[in-house]
Structure formats: structure tokens, C-alpha cells
Amino acid sequence: MAIVNKSSVEQACDITFASVTKQDFESLVALRIAAMRDSLERVGRFDPVRARERLKSGFKAEYARHILFNGAHAGFFVLKPSGQVMLLDHLYIHPDYQGQGIGAMTMINIIAQADALGLPIQVSALKGSRSNHFYQSHGFVETGESEWDICYLRALGTEM
């Protein structure tokens, strides 16, 4: 997976992406739980078993990438084709690394991948989560909602 041109944020820190293997699954579960815990507790939905099952359902290592920040495992994302869109199924930054521009640089890379394929990006975010503002700030628009999530779509070539 290629990294887009480095911005001043990325030049100040080294953000790289690495392949995920099936053996990484347990560490990804732990990272997902750490990243989602606050948001899920706020809405009364924190359940480590459900968090594990959510990641396990449909998980394919070939679509997942580790996010490395100055060599440390800061997060991961799962971006996979789904019909006529790219589905951003998971994007998590460990709480110790949030607020440092890592998610923004990762999103720029994800957008570049989808744009190169000529596909929009679909994602959902937990209602009440800070991630809703994050996605909106990257050009995603709300397309619907379910009991717990808000669904978004970023059209091909949308400006941020």
C-alpha cells in the first residue's frame, strides 16, 4: 500500500502502514477495545465479547493494515471492496496516540487509495462518538442511521 505525499504533519512524525496477518488478530482486538471503550461506555454498550465478535465477523487480514507511528503500533484500519464502494470497516487509533494527526494522515492515505480505484468510501460511526466529526471533516456526508450508528459516504473526489 503506497503512502501519499508526505505533508508537514507526516514529516514531523513517521507514519507507515504494514500488512496484517491472521496471527495479529488478538492484538487488533485489544487495540479496538482500548480505542472504543470510552465511546461505548458513554452509550452503555461496552462489551469486550461483542467488540471481539464485531471485529471477527468478516475479518480478512489482506484488507487490514497496521498504522505505525515512529515505529510503534498506533492503530489499524480495514478497507475492503464492497460492491461499488470501498468499505472502511474499521479505523482505530489507540488512545495513547489520538490527537496527534495520525488518524488524519491515515485518512488521507485511505482516500487516495479509493480515489485511485475510482470508488467512493462508505463508513459508519457510533452515535455520540468523536469519530463522527472526524469523518465529516474529511468530506463524508451522512446517508442514514441505525439504532447505534450513523452511516456516511465520501463521494469520489470530494474536497476536504
CATH T-level topology, domain 14-154? Aminopeptidase (3.40.630)
In 34-140, the DSSP E strands lie at 64-69, 72-82, 85-93, 121-126
Q: Strand 121-126 to strand 85-93: parallel, antiparallel, or no bridges (unpaired)? A: parallel
Which DSSP state fits 100?
S
pTM listed for this prediction: 0.85
Q: What is the pLDDT along the chain (160 residues), one digit of tens a residue?
A: 334 444 444 444 689 999 999 999 999 999 998 988 777 666 666 677 787 888 888 889 999 999 999 999 999 999 999 999 999 999 999 999 999 999 999 999 999 999 999 999 999 998 888 889 999 999 999 999 998 899 999 998 777 6
Q: Domain spans of the chain?
A: 14-154
Q: Are 54 and 80 in contact (CB under 8 A)?
A: no
**Gyration radius (Cα) of the chain, Å:** 15
Grid cell digits, residue 57: 465477523
